[in-house]
Chains A and B, each alone.
Chain A
Amino acid sequence: DTEVTQTPKHLVMGMTNKKSLKCEQHMGHRAMYWYKQKAKKPPELMFVYSYEKLSINESVPSRFSPECPNSSLLNLHLHALQPEDSALYLCASSHPRQRLNEKLFFGSGTQLSVL
């Protein structure tokens, strides 16, 4: 299994809603990432979990709350989002330290629209 699975693929939510994005991988990767990508822009790193502990938080607003309940799952909890948070949210995984011949594996993303 060489996939990173993200659900849902599309999400529309109001500014008062609470929702969660989910990411799952079974490759034994112990580093997992959340990226945000606006249209026609490169991805921006949001969070990195290494061995289920938050290791990087790129000054992301508290309305985004990550969670890594185990080594295979990564969640992103959303609350009181703003319309400018509408974007493609990408999950990725890798071994904690990039090794030769190791690739980064990305999910297909969740396209989020905040109304």
Chain B
Amino acid sequence: KNEVEQSPQNLTAQEGEFITINCSYSVGISALHWLQQHPGGGIVSLFMLSSGKKKHGRLIATINIQEKHSSLHITASHPRDSAVYICAVTPEEYGNKLVFGAGTILRVKS
């Protein structure tokens, strides 16, 4: 079993829909990251959080430390949101090491 599990693996949405991507992890962490990767491109860090909730534009990330679960929400989705979204955690044991989930491939249709 992977230490970081994401769901769904693939997601297709219509423009304007509210989208949720989930991430569960099994180790103690000091931080959780949500990352975005467009095809053939580098990775953009969207959020880093260790508690509560963060919002940036149409993106919202939440984390529940007790349940070892995080969600990434996209409101009013747009075709330019189409990308791979990756959840990664920084284990408590290794401050400089990320453990990645497999990613969620999101496609938003117009």
Contact = CB atoms under 8 A, between A and B. Distances in A.
Nearest to A42: B100
A103 B45 contact: yes
B72 to A, nearest CB: 15
B95 A106 contact: no
Nearest to B86: A42
16 contacts: A6-B42, A42-B86, A42-B100, A45-B98, A48-B96, A55-B96, A56-B97, A96-B96, A98-B48, A98-B90, A98-B95, A106-B35, A106-B42, A106-B45, A109-B42, A111-B40
Contacts of A60: none
Interface residues of B, number: 25
B86 A104 contact: no
Contacts of B40: 111
B22 interface: no
Interface of B: 30-31, 33, 35, 40-45, 47-48, 50, 86, 88, 90, 94-98, 100-103
Contacts, number: 60
Contacts of A111: 40
Q: How large is the interface on A (under 10, 10 to 19, 20 to 34, 35 or more residues)?
A: 20 to 34
Nearest to A92: B43
A92 B41 CA distance: 13
Q: Which of A31, A43, A104, A106: most chain B CB closer than 10 A?
A: A104
Contacts of A6: 42
